[in-house]
Structure 1
Amino acid sequence: MRGTGERAPRSTEELLALARGGDGEAFRRLVEPHRRELQVHCYRVLGSVQDAEDLVQETLLAAWRGIGGFEGRASVRTWLYRIATNRCLNALRDGARRPHERALHQPGVPLPEPSHRRAEPSWLEPCPDVLLDEVPDLAPGPEARYELGESVSLAFLAALQELPPRQRVVLVLRDVLGFRAAEVAAVLETTENAVNGALKRARAVLARELPGADRESAPLPGSPRERRVVADFTRAFQAGDVDAVVALLTDDVRLTMPPLPLEYRGLADVRNFLGSVSLCGRSRHVLVPTRANGQPAFGCYLRDPRTPVLHAHGVLVLTLSGDRVAALTRFVDNSLLAVFGLPRSLRAGWDGNGG
């Protein structure tokens, strides 16, 4: 412990010198400013908030063990990104973090034939906005193509999952974080030509996979326009009014249910799904508002007239376009509610508005 008269180190160089000498507090001060952005980076690559937190812990442990060999030829931030990226690649390659042991959702009623069926399940999970709000407001590098909001949107992340692991991390490092090709090559221990080739292929896949909706038309978060759309949707969905819900959707709306590899596209198919699955029967939904991936979201609960308890029914995220809903993403894993600080059940007195 330092004496009361000692000056606390302030520069990166001072902190590095102390950390190399085994000073844990100096190391913490060195890496803590980067923790949250590293977690969001790992989330983009892996698609799971919970896995991303684990990978950040592994990254910081590896950094602490290797701080003595860090020569400072790159910034601490770049060094940490190198460790985190390679940890993510290892996780994707070995598949150990994919929840294969988790059975796919078994609906209570048969699902209608989807408009489109992906080859593999999507292990994408939603990310609470409170986590994103803690990311430092850093200007991306000159190579960046995507702003923070775009790069954590569910559409962008779902498209990323279509990429092989190395293409995925190349696109994130180059087009999201704005790293130069030479920096990415150093992170991946490869050549700039290999990086540029992977980036070209990754961009082609994203151009094909990303919906063509005008992202600029979405209402601002928390604006009266957004609140109005969300209130109308909540009222219609909780009432089980299929026609009222459909009236709020865009013509090219998409409905997905990760990890199920099913997509329902367009008003007719989404209407059929809502009427035959989501909003059929005697049970009614109660939607508890939250936010995920920069968009309005809800913890979903079922109100069963035969019991006083409202049971968890996953997480629903809306993607807005203008005054309409362009996508409904229903996450069927009830354990995700805890990520948003929501309970697994509610008392029957809940009215959907916090009462």
Structure 2
Amino acid sequence: MAGVKPARTDLMSRAQAGDGEAFRALTEPHRRELQVHCYRMLGSFQDAEDALQDAMLAAWRGLEQFDGRASLRTWLYRIATNRCLDALRSARRRPAKQWDVPGLEPPEPTGLGEIHWLEPYPDGLLDGAISVPLGPEARYEQTESISLAFVTALQLLPPRQLAVLILRDVLGFHANEVADMLDTTVESVKSALKRARAGMQGRLPAADASAQPPDSASPAEDAIVAKFVSAYESADIDALVALLTDDVFLSMPPIPLEYHGRDSVARFFAFMFGSVRRYQLVPTRANGQPAFGVYRQTPAGIRGVGLLVLTLSGDRIRAMIRFENTFLPILGLPQSLPSAQQTAFARTDDAPQRGS
């Protein structure tokens, strides 16, 4: 087996003979990066989990056919990629959801989003998954290629182009390796890559050093985040809008409503802060970006009502994506806060309500 190191030959022999523990020992080091790969292809954390499970089951059942001509990692990527392509072709996507808050109608959106199945990916699962060695032809930084903007742009590509671009430009596999993974020719891979690159142009922000997000957990990022939390928790629309870029973008999958531009986003927050007096934010991270569990007072206590992920550009916020509260536990956040934090929502009746 040319693709298997001598030290692992015994493990492979045992796994091919039906030893489940040996199979897990061989595949576990690749599980996280394969999950991220499935996420990039499908744009959904839950769909990526399902595709990864299908891929691992297929690998277990087909391990006797592994001949070692390619590395085990490449073989697993082949299986995972094709399971994701099957999922994309089956069109089994989470349906769009209508606004469902009785008695409250949001302001008119500036557009309707196509990628209503988009879901966040927890930073806690990225350790060891985006630091893997890449091929020499990779064109994107691993942190960039897990961002919500990048993953969203990928979802607009046809399935085969999507797979080729990720395998070639994100992971750096050679064209002949990708052709083997997809059971096609090198010429077909090159053609699909050319079209995929053209499709990505214009869907991602132009390279601009002044518009690059600050480093994770840097003083610059901390400063923006602190200002955002202060403005959001105090419902200070003027302070919030001052943090936004002119072309800021707000979306809330699976609800397809989108708001583009400062004025439009300001109208949405005026509506939101006007209907709910106070929110509390609990920090976390998703897709390599600052994120927050959003909580508010309800008759049943302080409940999580959503997850908000920020995209930063220089010292401003370029995008905000609000996800459903079902993702709070996935990112290590509770569904509710202790009653001791009730004071965070205290507000006198005669205090002016911003944004109303």
Offset, 1:67:
0.9
Partner of 2:242: 247
Partner of 1:5: none
Instruction: Provide the rounded CA distance (Å) in 2 between the counterparts of 1:176 and 1:121.
Output: 21
Count the aligned residue pairs. Answer: 338
- Contact map agreement 2:97 2:256 (CA 8 A) in 1: no
Partner of 1:3: none
Q: One-letter code of the match for 2:279?
A: H
Q: One-letter code of the match for 1:86?
A: N
Q: Give the TM-score, by structure 2 length.
A: 0.89
CA shift in 2, pair 1:300/1:238, >3 Å:
same
Instruction: Provide the rounded CA distance (Å) in 1 between the counterparts of 2:325 and 2:291.
Output: 14
Identity %: 55
Instruction: Provide the rounded CA distance (Å) in 2 between the counterparts of 1:348 and 1:213.
Output: 46
Partner of 1:217: 212
Instruction: Provide the rounded CA distance (Å) in 2 between the counterparts of 1:270 and 1:184.
Output: 42
SS of 1:325 mapped into structure 2: strand
Aligned-residue Cα RMSD (Å) equals 2.1
Partner of 1:343: 334
Of 240, 254, 260, 2:255 maps to 260
Instruction: Provide the rounded CA distance (Å) in 2 between the counterparts of 1:152 and 1:20.
Output: 34
Partner of 1:6: none
Q: One-letter code of the match for 2:329?
A: A
Of 303, 312, 328, 1:320 maps to 312
Q: One-letter code of the match for 1:314?
A: G
Offset, 1:293:
0.6
- Contact map agreement 1:144 1:174 (CA 8 A) in 2: yes
Matched, 1:33 2:29: yes
Q: One-letter code of the match for 2:303?
A: H
Of 265, 269, 272, 1:274 maps to 269
Alpha-carbon displacement from aligned partner over 1:261-316 (angstroms, at most 9, x marks no partner): 3332221111111112x222243111111000111100111224xx3612221110
Offset, 1:36:
0.4
- Contact map agreement 2:12 2:26 (CA 8 A) in 1: yes
- Contact map agreement 1:308 1:347 (CA 8 A) in 2: no
Q: One-letter code of the match for 1:72?
A: G
- Contact map agreement 1:104 1:260 (CA 8 A) in 2: yes
SS of 1:280 mapped into structure 2: helix
SS of 1:227 mapped into structure 2: helix
SS of 1:130 mapped into structure 2: helix
More moved, 260-269 vs 241-250: 260-269
Q: One-letter code of the match for 2:186?
A: E
- Contact map agreement 1:288 1:299 (CA 8 A) in 2: yes
Instruction: Provide the rounded CA distance (Å) in 2 between the counterparts of 1:190 and 1:240.
Output: 55
Alignment gaps of 5+ in structure 2: 345-356
SS of 1:209 mapped into structure 2: coil
Matched, 1:171 2:165: yes
Q: Show the 5 A alignment for 1:61-140.
A: 61-96=57-92, 98-100=93-95, 103-108=97-102, 109-118=104-113, 120-135=114-129, 137-140=131-134
SS of 2:275 mapped into structure 1: coil
Instruction: Provide the rounded CA distance (Å) in 2 between the counterparts of 1:116 and 1:73.
Output: 49
Offset, 1:347:
3.2
More moved, 135-144 vs 69-78: 135-144
Partner of 1:334: 325
Offset, 1:105:
3.9
Q: One-letter code of the match for 2:20?
A: G
Offset, 1:149:
0.5
Alignment gaps of 5+ in structure 1: 1-8
